[in-house]
């Protein structure tokens, strides 16, 4: 087997590896796009939920403030009624009602303070979430453009590699091509391997000295008796 045939076989194998990777990219590139978009969606959702909480907190604070205003009006009215009280029974009843309203006002005012504190915390959180979301949009957006461009070019890259592959095939002996294709399809790739440490570098089976010498001379096609791979000599291999 001539040096030219070996070079062509290795080139063919390299093209097949590239074609395999391009075919695989049809699957993993869309997954990468989906993951990047999902990350953006998750960040936007998290931000939107925080903004919704802020809006709800504002509405609750306004509701509580209105309630305090109404209860203060009720309290003022009851205090005015104290002037017209004539019996202890009426006084006790009015006093209980006044204390109840004061208690409601106190609870509402505490809730207002809690709402204000929650609002402040949400304001800080939203600023951080906005910055994080903007960063994810920018970073993922750039990656999405790059990956989408790669996806769009996969078909053309495959076509070019297939043309190169055909040009290599027509320059190889039919028997060599047949053996190569049979081994490649049977093993799923890696049909041509070098002899390393006096063994097949594909399955690591030790090779007889006589066979090693034949491989080194390169006069004929030799395959591994264990895995069937096409064996070629490694120039770095010691005799």
In this predicted structure, what is the pLDDT of residue 164? 97
Between the alpha carbon of residue 25 and those of residues 2, 37, 165, the distances in Å are: 35, 18, 19
Alpha-carbon span 187 to 185, nearest angstrom: 6
In this predicted structure, what is the pLDDT of residue 187? 87
3-81 helix and 88-169 helix, angle to the nearest 10 degrees:
170
Extract the tokens encoding 62: 């306004």
In this predicted structure, what is the pLDDT of residue 70? 97
Scanning the structure block, which residue is given the tokens 């769009």? 152
Alpha-carbon span 231 to 200, nearest angstrom: 7
- Give the list of residues 6+ apart from residue 218 with CB closer than 8 angstroms, or none: 1, 2, 3, 6, 232, 233
In this predicted structure, what is the pLDDT of residue 203? 93
In this predicted structure, what is the pLDDT of residue 237? 59
Alpha-carbon span 14 to 139, nearest angstrom: 33
**CA nearest 49: which of 119, 122, 118?**
122
- Beta-strand runs (E) in the chain: 192-196, 199-200, 230-232
| DSSP string computed for 137-191 | HHHHHHHHHHHHHHHHHHHHHHHHHHHHHHHHHTTS-HHHHHHHHHHHHHHTS--
Length of the chain: 239
In this predicted structure, what is the pLDDT of residue 83? 87
Going along the chain from its start, the domains and CATH numbers come out as 3-154 (1.10.287.1490), 174-232 (no CATH)
Alpha-carbon span 170 to 27, nearest angstrom: 31
Residues of the chain with pLDDT under 70: 1, 236-239
In this predicted structure, what is the pLDDT of residue 79? 92
- Summarised one tens digit per residue, pLDDT across range 5-44 is 999 999 999 999 999 999 999 999 999 999 999 999 999 9
3-state secondary structure of 223: strand
In this predicted structure, what is the pLDDT of residue 238? 56
């Amino acid at each position: 087997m001539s040096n030219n045939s070996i070079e062509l076989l290795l080139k063919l194998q390299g093209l097949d590896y590239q074609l395999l990777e391009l075919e695989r990219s049809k699957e993993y590139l869309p997954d990468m796009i989906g993951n990047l978009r999902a990350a953006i969606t998750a960040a936007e959702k998290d931000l939107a939920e925080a903004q919704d909480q802020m809006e709800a907190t504002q509405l609750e604070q306004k509701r509580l403030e209105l309630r305090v205003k109404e209860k203060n009006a009720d309290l003022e009215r009851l205090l005015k009624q104290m002037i017209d009280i004539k019996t202890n029974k009426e006084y006790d009843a009015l006093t209980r009602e006044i204390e109840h309203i004061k208690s409601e006002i106190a609870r509402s005012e505490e809730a207002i303070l809690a709402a204000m504190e929650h609002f402040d915390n949400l304001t800080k959180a939203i600023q951080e979430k906005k910055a994080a979301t903007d960063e994810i949009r920018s970073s993922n957006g750039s990656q999405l453009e790059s990956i989408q461009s790669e996806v769009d070019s996969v078909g053309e890259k495959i076509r070019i590699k297939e043309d190169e592959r055909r040009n290599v095939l027509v320059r190889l002996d039919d028997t060599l091509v047949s053996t190569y294709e049979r081994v490649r399809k049977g093993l799923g790739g890696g049909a041509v391997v070098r002899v390393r440490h006096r063994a097949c570098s594909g399955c690591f089976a030790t090779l007889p000295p006589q066979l090693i010498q034949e491989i080194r001379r390169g006069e004929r096609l030799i395959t591994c008796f264990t895995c069937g791979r096409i064996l070629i000599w490694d120039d770095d291999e010691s005799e």
